[in-house]
Structure 1
């Protein structure tokens, strides 16, 4: 009865001490943020779609479907199923979750079973005999079960588990970040290929026009109306346009190869049909800067890194306090295997304090203090990285908002330049046929219209890329249900389509807050 009371008191004392955690209370550090984005449109011009209210652990939605391009939709699905970088990130998540389960196992007792014989020869001196006295040998069979458990004094074990949990959450956020980056990279490479297709189309039209012009110049030369110089100039302009068109083909091949790698394919296995880029006209409201802290998976990852570092400070502090290990063995011992499981052969072993062993560190030449200092320094580093991630996210949003705002005006001005240059080129050809101007004027006007058309196509491509970059900088969209990420890191993609919800519609949030212009 007395032994039972002592054990009960020891257990109660252990439970009380286990609640004395020395881990600092974690609070997310303040990060620089303004009330509104500098480059955001006024509320009356930002569209009428409801702003999303996301969380960092949710899938970023099929935001690319808002471009209404079936080819892009298929490429995005293919990339998420086969991209190797995404698979590597999923494997890192699986590793982090395995480490989390490994750390969590420390919260429970460890039970082991042992069976086997031992053969021992005791020396004469150990038995109090002369060195040359008789010695005896003995065989001992054992069948035992052992239990070991570290009581969570001062929160050392729970802090380690919390740190591993935060690490797993960080890995999941990084997986979301890689996934969002992959989606954006596929969209950007796709639009780049289509931009080059549009430029190639401009050159096809230019080559056709210059071939017709060359025929006209050669006919007039044969008729004696002009000199051979005009023929040479016309042939030079045609060859120059052909060379530039081949340069576009070379750039398109490289862009197509890059897209193939994103899809998890060898470049020789992938070919994208030529489809000139049409003008993309979507407006993406930026929302509030404070919402960016919830939307961006990389910011979420940086925040989870801080939480893990904070928990490791607690584990490092706990090293200064006593550590309580409870151990015990029970089973059978016998000199013969046939008598091993007889009731009289039973045995047990408990450590001091009814199975508890309390160790108190006294001197270690500063090792524990160095570990605590390192844990604090890691936390300070993670705080700085978090704040830098927030600043970088704000800059990316502002950059792309400014880019889109300026591109709107630039594209309008460029459209006027294309119209004016096309009209000038048309007039120059007419006047040349009439013999009122020289062929140099025709060449100059043709070069101008080609340059203006190409700039116009490039601006359309820049607007498409900036739109994708803004969506990426904002963290994507959240209209789809959160997928389940298993312990292996495999992501199950939902099949629902992303839609933008009008403002005021309850219970919905757009894939990305995009409104048609």
Structure 2
């Protein structure tokens, strides 16, 4: 009786110890420490007084199809086509599916493993196995067996939970990387589209210049044939005509190259895609940058770096747990019989438990430093991810500041450039009128026309730069940062798949 009580007490104590240790975790704390974050962007201070303007209504539009703010139906259609067929985005989606499958695989360790088997075995034992003569008779037996085996690892010291946390962080990182690829694709499509429209504007300017040069050449040719002009004026006009033609062909070449690049972004062969010519309209759009602290939630690359850091932190906990005992609960039950007809008889039942009450407690002692090397590897990976997170954060602030600076200065530059273009246009008109009345030479007309062409091209390039810089600012701000991931029900919050730790920087774990 006393032996039975001791046996029950031992079983109860072991069960209580197992449940207690299952709640332990050796993961280092992920303490927030972002360092100083500026209250506002320096380059967002557009007014001379330094006043900073916060969110505007366009801020909401950035959260979804941000390119619709440009109000360009052709761009909208290109974005839809790119998201349907771009191979890079399809590869990113496959990687997202891979991270989801790996998370599910890691989650399976929380549940018992159950296997079932059925089949016969046939065995012949040698006479020597039962102390007989080597050339003596031997028996052959057939054994039918069916059984079910169960195994479960108790989560001592949080090894399983740490592994699952790492997989959850990797799944969240996979979602952030997908959004990063999607944002890069959207920005590249818009950037290339506006480059093509800028080249279309240049092409229109070159055509107008070419028509003007052709009329000038024809006029000088007529004067030369009538004896009112010299051959020098004819050759000068011919030279300017051919230069204009060469420049127009150069713009066509650049435009064709940009169109091929856009076709690849759409997942099409260049031969299967063409974009009609349409000059660029000046973009009258102001993008609110928001607060610098909001960038940590908007930028998918920052989110990816943060989740990588969280995964590395969880792997430290799993590496630490390798220094402590591992508890495996195992058991098997079934039937064994020498005859198939007697297999499922109650007398044929069999079972097998582990070495002690269905448990197997293993404690590593010597491994040649393998566990310490694993822990050092996990710590080094964590420290690398922390440094990469800081680098990503600083680069994000720099990109936003750069694009804000470009747009702020570009606005004043466009105003000055418009005045220069209008002045050059008026000077060309006056020079042409005075040449026709004989008060100016042909060189004056050529010089005025060349200056007008340069100012028109400068205006076109500036408008194109302004459109592409607006796109790059939206990209630097994170674009549509709350776009739902594919394959995720809209009713399920994105954070439910893998709870994200706080975005700030954690300190390095203590050794």
Specify the SS of the correspondent of 1:39. helix
Alignment of 1:337-352 (within 5 A): 337-352=340-355
- Once the two structures are superposed, what CA deviation does each residue of 1:445-474 show, in whole Å capped at 9, x if it has no partner? 111110110011000000001000001101
Normalised by the size of structure 2, how large is the TM-score?
0.90
The equivalent of 1:99 in structure 2 is: 102
Q: Which of 443, 452, 463 is the equivalent residue of 2:466?
A: 463
Q: Distance in 2 between matches of 1:425 and 1:213?
A: 13
Alignment of 1:37-116 (within 5 A): 37-41=41-45, 42=47, 46=53, 49-50=56-57, 52=59, 60-116=63-119
Whether contact under 8 Å (1:111, 1:146) holds in the other structure is: yes
> Structure 1 residue 109: deviation in Å?
0.6
Specify the SS of the correspondent of 2:43. coil
The equivalent of 1:25 in structure 2 is: 29
Q: Distance in 2 between matches of 1:51 and 1:234?
A: 51
Q: Distance in 1 between matches of 2:65 and 2:366?
A: 58
Alignment of 1:166-205 (within 5 A): 166-205=169-208
Whether contact under 8 Å (2:319, 2:374) holds in the other structure is: yes
Specify the SS of the correspondent of 2:356. helix
Q: State how many pairs are aligned.
A: 484
Whether contact under 8 Å (2:28, 2:317) holds in the other structure is: yes
Q: Distance in 2 between matches of 1:355 and 1:174?
A: 44
Q: Which of 442, 445, 449 is the equivalent residue of 1:446?
A: 449
Closer/same/farther in 2, CA of residues 28 and 98 from structure 1, 3 Å limit: farther
Q: Which of 423, 442, 464 is the equivalent residue of 1:420?
A: 423
The equivalent of 2:14 in structure 1 is: 10
The equivalent of 2:364 in structure 1 is: 361
- Once the two structures are superposed, what CA deviation does each residue of 1:266-313 show, in whole Å capped at 9, x if it has no partner? 111111111100111211222221111111010000000000000100
Closer/same/farther in 2, CA of residues 190 and 491 from structure 1, 3 Å limit: farther
Whether contact under 8 Å (2:55, 2:290) holds in the other structure is: no
> Structure 1 residue 139: deviation in Å?
2.1
- Once the two structures are superposed, what CA deviation does each residue of 1:371-399 show, in whole Å capped at 9, x if it has no partner? 00000000000000000000100110011
> Structure 1 residue 4: deviation in Å?
6.7
Asked if 1:485 is matched to 2:466, the reply is no
Q: Distance in 2 between matches of 1:11 and 1:135?
A: 47
Q: Distance in 1 between matches of 2:81 and 2:32?
A: 37
The equivalent of 2:156 in structure 1 is: 153
Q: Distance in 2 between matches of 1:404 and 1:76?
A: 24
Whether contact under 8 Å (1:121, 1:135) holds in the other structure is: yes
Asked if 1:324 is matched to 2:331, the reply is no
Specify the SS of the correspondent of 1:362. coil
Whether contact under 8 Å (2:175, 2:485) holds in the other structure is: no
> Structure 1 residue 120: deviation in Å?
2.6
Specify the SS of the correspondent of 1:354. coil
Whether contact under 8 Å (1:280, 1:463) holds in the other structure is: yes
Q: Distance in 2 between matches of 1:471 and 1:182?
A: 13
Whether contact under 8 Å (1:86, 1:179) holds in the other structure is: yes
Q: Distance in 2 between matches of 1:246 and 1:433?
A: 30
Q: Distance in 2 between matches of 1:374 and 1:460?
A: 51
Alignment of 1:290-301 (within 5 A): 290-301=293-304
> Structure 1 residue 8: deviation in Å?
4.7
The equivalent of 2:495 in structure 1 is: none
> Structure 1 residue 119: deviation in Å?
2.3
> Structure 1 residue 12: deviation in Å?
2.9
The equivalent of 1:283 in structure 2 is: 286
Question: Which segment drifts farther, 407-416 or 453-462?
Answer: 407-416
> Structure 1 residue 27: deviation in Å?
3.1
Closer/same/farther in 2, CA of residues 125 and 4 from structure 1, 3 Å limit: farther
Question: Which segment drifts farther, 93-102 or 69-78?
Answer: 69-78
Asked if 1:220 is matched to 2:223, the reply is yes
Q: Which runs of 5+ in 2 are unaligned?
A: 492-511
Q: Which of 36, 39, 64 is the equivalent residue of 2:40?
A: 36
